Amino acid sequence: MRKLPAILLLTVLLGCAGIVAFAATSGDRRLGEAISEHADEIYRGDDPVVSDDGGDVPVVLFTDFNCPDCRKAEPAINRLVKEKDGVRLIVKQLPILGRDSEIAARIALAADAQGKYWPLHKALFEARGRITQNRALRIAEDLGLDMDRLKSDANGDEVSATLAKTFLVADAIDVPGVPFMLVGDHQVLESDDLYGDLSAAVDEVRAKGCTAAC
């Protein structure tokens, strides 16, 4: 897991008014209580959602395109979406690894407005090396996105607000770093059998439900 620094200032680039402050909290709050308090922001925000029509179990992923551990987790996430019925994947961009990561996150969030978030997400994680602005834009163009619209949306207030909300909710529930994964209101840790752990957690949530209003 790539850890969040004790204090992270996210400068929301290209037209956002101001700076979003992220401060790691003391960690003394229980995760379940924090999730219950912030359920709407976690499960019903403006983040990209990948789902079939019957997606009833939310899987929440906090991620950064330039995070090696996030890249390592991607095969399990992709397999879960492809093979596990009823999964509703909610992807929260948490770009903690610098300017390149934030710009890549902006471009990916802008692609959601064209219905191309998931193809771009997968292509960015499949690309080797650091994802820079030029690489992200080139990959987006190869996928056939409207580039003028993409650039405008990436610089817009809506994307800035989505990023800001993600940092705030990450602070509120004490996200320690990326990748950070929730199935319903249960955290799933990185492991050698991440797909198996995620799949089992989906089955448990489907059978027992969530404590939080997820």
214 within a domain of the structure (yes/no): no
What local confidence, expressed as pLDDT, does residue 30 receive? 74
102 within a domain of the structure (yes/no): yes
Strand partners, 62: 92, 180
Amino acid identity of residue 209, one-letter, is: G
90 within a domain of the structure (yes/no): yes
What local confidence, expressed as pLDDT, does residue 4 receive? 62
Q: What is the pLDDT along the chain (214 residues), one digit of tens a residue?
A: 766 654 344 433 333 333 233 333 333 347 889 999 999 999 999 999 998 777 889 999 999 999 999 999 999 999 999 999 999 999 999 999 999 999 999 999 999 999 999 999 999 999 999 999 999 999 999 999 999 999 999 999 999 999 999 999 999 999 999 999 999 999 999 999 999 999 999 999 999 988 878 8
Q: Which two tokens stand for residue 88?
A: 């509703």
123 within a domain of the structure (yes/no): yes
What local confidence, expressed as pLDDT, does residue 212 receive? 76
What local confidence, expressed as pLDDT, does residue 3 receive? 65
Q: Give CA torsion, residues 166, 70, 208, 40, to 10 deg.
A: 10
170 within a domain of the structure (yes/no): yes
Total number of domains in the chain: 1
What local confidence, expressed as pLDDT, does residue 29 receive? 45
Phi, psi of 61 (to 5 degrees): -120, 120
List the domain range (segments joined by +) for residue 189. 2-208
Contact 70, 77 (CB under 8 A): no
Instruction: Say which CATH number the domain at 194 has.
Output: 3.40.30.10
What local confidence, expressed as pLDDT, does residue 148 receive? 98
213 within a domain of the structure (yes/no): no
